[in-house]
């Protein structure tokens, strides 16, 4: 059980199992029926607090936020760029405004009408303009399983325990939870006996359970962010589904890595949970042996105890089957190491960049973070509760990722990251 | 010799060997000492024509440009999104305004003072906000040489003749010509006899001679751009140097491809030469055998006859040595095939996205587009004219790429794409 932060009562109704307790206060960008302009908000219980409305009412009175127009933007990039001191000031202000014994918002009926929107009535937008998106490969279990499945080798690649391996992903096709996913078409390897590859809808469509960090302040090109200060550059985390077409990926990926097998869609959850909110859930990462090179050596490595689940809901089965229960803490490389590694060559990060973890697989069968692993490369059926089974996803399947941290009587949750698979649109 | 377009005389002085003839009219974004706001311009001879000033003077009178604010932007993205009809209209207007017998600009001293800037006095900015940057691998000579050097195999990978192979690159570290390049530090493979990788400045720093296209109108996520209409989505081309740290690249790239070995910097030339200007230089691409899959099959494949050169200028040797003479037409996969392939899985392109060709190597030693190939993996010295030699780049080396098409009495050129290598800034 995580240590309890000082209890705060809020005047907003929050159910005990709500992901969006007063201890959370995640940031997102939303639009409403009454106003289609995207603007920053904070989720609390079943409500969204409109930060633009709060700023317009002059309630951000702290020295860093007072004169800022960061909440009058259509994305969080400007707020992300302001850094931890501004984030702390904002969190303090919002927590105070929402608290039960603070009248400023509670007793201002007019402002409450303008500043609160029911969560289930708003449209969530991408929280930031994502300049670059990077996907790491930081679960040792996942890396080992991929080696066994693809190469029949029970060993990591030579570099894996030294390098937090990553590749550049496609930022244009990142969408928020709920966006339908079209089954992609593409080239796959020649069938046995044929010399020509086939062009067809992917028949090995998969999810990947991941989480991803949004970058706060960036760094100048040619400079490094040392691992000691890496966390000052991390705004917060979201859930992510790195949809993957295994047949397309396998045929194209040698020698330059994944491309069209990934770039057709990536889904993130719309609410960014800040590192401040996650502090009570810090835990030790796995021991690293061999010890990492000095530039990756952390005074005190830290991970986060975030319970994760993946549920597949076939068409017409709204309950679905939870086929994976994993945890962020299974990751071998930490957030700080990923970020420090990313900049060690002088590569510049920008506010709003997204760095994903890679598939978060744990040690047990039930904690494997993608169907490729769960079906062991398509050799085994994964049973569903409705009597069906899957090796890979079928059209109409909805994949729902959820994640939360359990505090003493409250949750700090991420909501859900979902997407429903639609049939291919191409005519092949 | 390319067919001559109808000759146009301009009142602006243009030397016969100028890259920026009236037949070219490339687009860039510049700022001046008098006005630091970046704005679109066109290069002509030794001058930049300020398109914002021309628009403000009401001289874009065509139906598509008349009411547009595209030249009041700090990037070309909005103009790129408008499509070929708007590009043609603009080109017609600019060509007319610059022609010798058109008084509107020629005789307006006041406007000429506001609208012309000496090329050597302006600061060139990135021409577009580059949402995503992709790097292809489209020279068969380069792919074959990499196979021989890295794997000792005289054969392409199984997929190469079927798939226009590509990987996602880093867009944040794309800079324009002239920006200094810092030698990156990073992990390299363990030395013989050691079990631990080293962390150090790259000692195998290389250039890659490439060209890259800017995307015009994009496509919606989930839809494809057929190869037949691909060229309607291409705005124009620039020169590109994909700086590469071969030792970092080699250690990190398995299994997910290049990452920090590339992401420290990529240089592009600042002037985008449009496909309209390149039309007289269309030529046949290499024959493709086996024939590509139907979605890559072009009614009439086309390449461009663009002569390319790479000159290395060691510190204190301003003349330098031209060590590579290649040509865009050596590329196996065409621009149209690259773009169609990129979207065949439904991946969305956005105006301003950059798609690079990959290293443009020709068949002869002197046309190999990087030092890795020229020195055959560091086994041979590449002679310089100053008596020195190189296997890879040394601190202080400036790498200058230039490219042009030769018309009948005029050039359509790209200017240069240069960068000087500075010592590492890290303390390792
Ligand atoms: Ca992934
Ligand atoms: Ca390249
Ligand atoms: Mg993806
Ligand atoms: Mg590069
Ligand atoms: Ni199809």
Write out the DSSP string of B169-223: E-STTEEETT--EEPPEEEEPPPTT-SS-EEEE-S-EE--EEEEEEE-S---TT-
Q: What is the pLDDT of residues A215-233, one digit of tens each?
A: 999 999 999 999 999 999 9
Q: For chain A, first and last CA: distance in Å?
A: 53
Question: Could A348 and B290 be called an inter-chain contact, meaning their C-beta atoms sit closer than 8 Å?
Answer: no
C-alpha A269 – ligand 4 centre gap (Å): 31
Q: For chain B, first and last CA: distance in Å?
A: 53
- CATH number of this structure's domain A133-422, picked from the four choices 3.90.850.10, 3.40.30.10, 3.30.450.30, 3.40.50.2300: 3.90.850.10
pLDDT recorded at residue A150 = 87
Looking at domain B27-125, does it have CATH number 1.10.10.10? no
DSSP-derived pairing of the beta strands B307-313 and B321-327? antiparallel
Helix (H, G, I), strand (E, B) or coil at B403: strand
Question: What is d(CA B236, CA B276) in angstroms, rounded to the nearest whole number?
Answer: 8
> Percent of chain A scored above 70 by pLDDT?
98
Is there a contact between B91 and B274 (Cβ–Cβ < 8 Å)?
yes
**How crowded is residue A398: how many other Cβ atoms within 10 Å of its Cβ?**
20
What residue in B sits closest to A189 (Cα-Cα)? B159
pLDDT recorded at residue B203 = 97
Bridge partners, B331 (sequence order):
none
**How deeply is A15 buried, as exposed, middle or buried, from its count of CB atoms within 10 A (0-12, 13-18, 19+)?**
exposed
Question: What is d(CA B258, CA B255) in angstroms, rounded to the nearest whole number?
Answer: 9
Residues of B in contact with A158 (CB under 8 A): 189
DSSP-derived pairing of the beta strands A116-118 and B307-313? unpaired
Closest by Cα among A42, A32, A34 to A105? A42
Question: Could A165 and B425 be called an inter-chain contact, meaning their C-beta atoms sit closer than 8 Å?
Answer: no
DSSP-derived pairing of the beta strands A382-383 and A234-241? unpaired
The pLDDT confidence band at residue A427, using thresholds 50, 70 and 90, is: low
Tokens standing for residue B175: 């800079």
C-alpha A202 – ligand 5 centre gap (Å): 8
What average pLDDT does the segment A349-355 reach?
98
Is there a contact between A261 and A245 (Cβ–Cβ < 8 Å)?
yes
Question: Could A256 and B257 be called an inter-chain contact, meaning their C-beta atoms sit closer than 8 Å?
Answer: yes
Q: What residues contact residue A173 under an 8 Å CB cut-off, 6+ apart?
A: A263, A264, A265, A266, B221, B346, B347, B348
What average pLDDT does the segment A335-360 reach?
98
Which of B222, B297, B333 to probe the A interface (max A CBs under 10 A)?
Answer: B222
How far are the Cα atoms of B85, B100, B264 from residue A357, in angstroms, in the given order?
Answer: 44, 60, 21
What residue in A sits closest to B222 (Cα-Cα)? A182
Q: How near does any CA of chain A get to the CA of B379, in Å?
A: 22
Strands (E), B269-337: 273-274, 282-283, 303-304, 307-313, 321-327
Of the candidates B260, B350, B353, the beta carbon closest to that of A345 is on B260
Question: Could A344 and B132 be called an inter-chain contact, meaning their C-beta atoms sit closer than 8 Å?
Answer: no
Could you say which ligand is closest to the alpha carbon of residue B262? Answer: 4
* Minimum mean pLDDT range among A119-128, A199-208, B142-151, B374-383: B142-151
Tokens standing for residue B268: 């592009």
Q: Which of B19, B142, B233, B404 is catalytic?
A: B142
DSSP-derived pairing of the beta strands B266-268 and B234-241? antiparallel
Is there a contact between B273 and B417 (Cβ–Cβ < 8 Å)?
no
Residue A10 has pLDDT above 60, yes or no: yes
Residue A6 has pLDDT above 70, yes or no: no
* Range(s) within chain B of domains with CATH label 2.30.30.230: 27-125
**How crowded is residue A103: how many other Cβ atoms within 10 Å of its Cβ?**
9
pTM for this one? 0.96
Is there a contact between B7 and B25 (Cβ–Cβ < 8 Å)?
no
pLDDT recorded at residue B1 = 42
Of the candidates B184, B265, B345, the beta carbon closest to that of A248 is on B345
Question: What is d(CA A138, CA A165) in angstroms, rounded to the nearest whole number?
Answer: 7
The pLDDT confidence band at residue A2, using thresholds 50, 70 and 90, is: very low
Question: Could B251 and A163 be called an inter-chain contact, meaning their C-beta atoms sit closer than 8 Å?
Answer: yes
Tokens standing for residue B70: 């595209």
Instruction: State the DSSP H helix or E strand holding residue B408, giving kind and residue range, or none if neither.
Output: none
Which of B345, B352, B355, B372 to probe the A interface (max A CBs under 10 A)?
Answer: B345
C-alpha B15 – ligand 5 centre gap (Å): 52
What average pLDDT does the segment A63-81 reach?
98
C-alpha A368 – ligand 1 centre gap (Å): 13
Residue B385: alpha-carbon gap to chain centroid: 27
Q: How near does any CA of chain B get to the CA of A92, in Å?
A: 33
**How crowded is residue B278: how many other Cβ atoms within 10 Å of its Cβ?**
20
C-alpha A185 – ligand 5 centre gap (Å): 5
Strands (E), A353-426: 354-356, 382-383, 389-390, 398-406, 411-422
What residue in B sits closest to A340 (Cα-Cα)? B186
Which of A161, A250, A255, A296 to probe the B interface (max B CBs under 10 A)?
Answer: A255
Of the candidates A224, A259, A345, the beta carbon closest to that of B168 is on A259
Is there a contact between A327 and A310 (Cβ–Cβ < 8 Å)?
no
φ, ψ for residue A392, nearest 5 deg:
-135, 180
Strands (E), A45-102: 47-50
What average pLDDT does the segment A179-203 reach?
96
Closest by Cα among B401, B427, B405 to B416? B401
pLDDT recorded at residue B426 = 74
pLDDT recorded at residue A426 = 74
| Tens of pLDDT, residue by residue, chain B (428 residues) | 444 556 689 999 999 999 999 999 999 999 999 999 999 999 999 999 999 999 999 999 999 999 999 999 999 999 999 999 999 999 999 999 999 999 999 999 999 999 999 999 999 999 999 999 999 999 999 999 999 998 889 999 999 999 999 999 999 999 999 999 999 999 999 999 998 999 999 999 999 999 999 999 999 999 999 999 999 999 999 999 999 999 999 999 999 999 999 999 999 999 999 999 999 999 999 999 999 999 999 989 999 999 999 999 999 999 999 999 999 999 999 999 999 999 999 999 999 999 999 999 999 999 999 999 999 999 999 999 999 999 999 999 999 999 999 999 999 999 999 999 999 987 66
* Range(s) within chain B of domains with CATH label 3.90.850.10: 133-422
Is there a contact between A328 and A211 (Cβ–Cβ < 8 Å)?
yes
Is A305 annotated as a binding-site member? Answer: no
Tokens standing for residue A131: 């300049």
Residues of B in contact with A162 (CB under 8 A): 187, 196-197
Q: Give me the total of CB pairs closer than 8 Å, taking one residue from chain A and one from chain B.
A: 201
Of the candidates B165, B172, B248, the beta carbon closest to that of A252 is on B165
Residues of A with a catalytic annotation lie at 142
Q: What residues contact residue A275 under an 8 Å CB cut-off, 6+ apart?
A: A231, A234, A235, A236, A237
How far are the Cα atoms of A367, A386, A390 from residue A320, in angstroms, in the given order?
Answer: 17, 7, 12
Question: Is the sign of the CA dihedral A85, A91, A94, A99 positive or negative?
Answer: negative
pLDDT recorded at residue A8 = 81
User: Residue for token digits 């932007």?
Assistant: B73
Of the candidates A146, A221, A428, the beta carbon closest to that of B265 is on A221
Residues of A in contact with B257 (CB under 8 A): 167, 253, 255-258
Question: Could B196 and A132 be called an inter-chain contact, meaning their C-beta atoms sit closer than 8 Å?
Answer: no
Question: Could A182 and B222 be called an inter-chain contact, meaning their C-beta atoms sit closer than 8 Å?
Answer: yes
Q: What is the pLDDT of residues A174-184, one digit of tens each?
A: 999 999 999 99
pLDDT recorded at residue A388 = 96
Tokens standing for residue A220: 């100048």
Tokens standing for residue A307: 């319970």
What residue in A sits closest to B421 (Cα-Cα)? A222
Question: What is d(CA B276, CA B269) in angstroms, rounded to the nearest whole number?
Answer: 18
Tokens standing for residue A21: 């307790």
Of the candidates B162, B252, B256, the beta carbon closest to that of A258 is on B256
Instruction: State the DSSP H helix or E strand holding residue A103, giving kind and residue range, or none if neither.
Output: helix A103-106
Q: How near does any CA of chain B get to the CA of A160, in Å?
A: 9
What residue in A sits closest to B134 (Cα-Cα)? A170
Question: What is d(CA B292, CA B289) in angstroms, rounded to the nearest whole number?
Answer: 8
Instruction: State the DSSP H helix or E strand holding residue B68, giving kind and residue range, or none if neither.
Output: none
């Amino acid at each position: 059980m995580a240590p309890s932060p000082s209890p705060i009562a809020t005047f907003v109704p929050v159910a005990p199992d709500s992901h969006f307790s007063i201890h959370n206060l995640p940031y997102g960008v939303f639009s409403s029926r009454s106003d289609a302009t995207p603007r920053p908000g904070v989720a609390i219980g079943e409500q969204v607090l409109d930060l633009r409305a709060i700023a317009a009412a002059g309630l951000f009175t702290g020295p860093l936020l007072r004169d800022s127009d960061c909440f009058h933007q259509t994305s969080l990039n400007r707020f992300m760029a302001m850094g931890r001191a501004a984030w702390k000031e904002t969190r303090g202000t919002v927590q105070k405004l929402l608290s039960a014994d603070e009248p400023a918002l509670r007793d201002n009926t007019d402002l409450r009408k303008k500043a609160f929107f029911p969560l289930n009535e708003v449209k969530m937008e991408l929280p930031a303009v994502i300049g670059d998106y990077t996907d790491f490969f930081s679960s040792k279990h996942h890396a080992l399983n991929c080696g066994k499945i693809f190469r029949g080798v029970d060993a990591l690649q030579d570099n894996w325990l030294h390098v937090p391996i990553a590749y550049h992903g496609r930022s244009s096709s990142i969408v928020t939870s709920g966006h339908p996913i079209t089954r992609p078409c593409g080239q796959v390897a020649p069938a046995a006996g044929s010399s020509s590859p086939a062009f067809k809808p992917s028949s090995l469509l998969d999810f990947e359970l991941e989480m991803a960090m949004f970058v706060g302040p960036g760094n100048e090109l040619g400079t490094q962010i040392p691992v000691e200060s890496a966390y000052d550059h991390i705004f917060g985390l979201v859930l992510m589904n790195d949809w993957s077409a295994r047949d397309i990926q396998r045929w194209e990926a040698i020698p330059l890595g994944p491309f069209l097998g990934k770039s057709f869609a990536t889904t993130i959850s719309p609410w960014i949970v800040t590192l401040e909110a996650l502090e009570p859930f810090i835990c030790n990462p796995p021991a690293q042996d061999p010890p990492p090179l000095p530039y990756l050596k952390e005074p005190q490595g830290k991970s986060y105890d975030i319970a994760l689940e993946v549920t597949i809901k076939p068409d017409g089965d709204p309950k679905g089957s939870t086929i994976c229960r994993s945890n962020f803490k299974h990751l071998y490389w930490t957030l700080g190491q990923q970020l420090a590694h990313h900049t060690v060559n002088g590569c510049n990060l920008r506010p709003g960049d997204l760095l994903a973890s890679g598939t978060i697989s744990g040690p047990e069968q039930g904690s494997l973070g993608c169907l490729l692993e769960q079906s062991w490369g398509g050799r085994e059926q994964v049973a569903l509760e409705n009597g069906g089974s899957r090796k890979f996803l079928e059209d109409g399947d909805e994949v729902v990722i959820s994640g939360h941290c359990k505090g003493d009587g409250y949750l700090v949750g991420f909501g859900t990251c979902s997407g429903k698979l639609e049939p291919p649109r191409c005519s092949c």
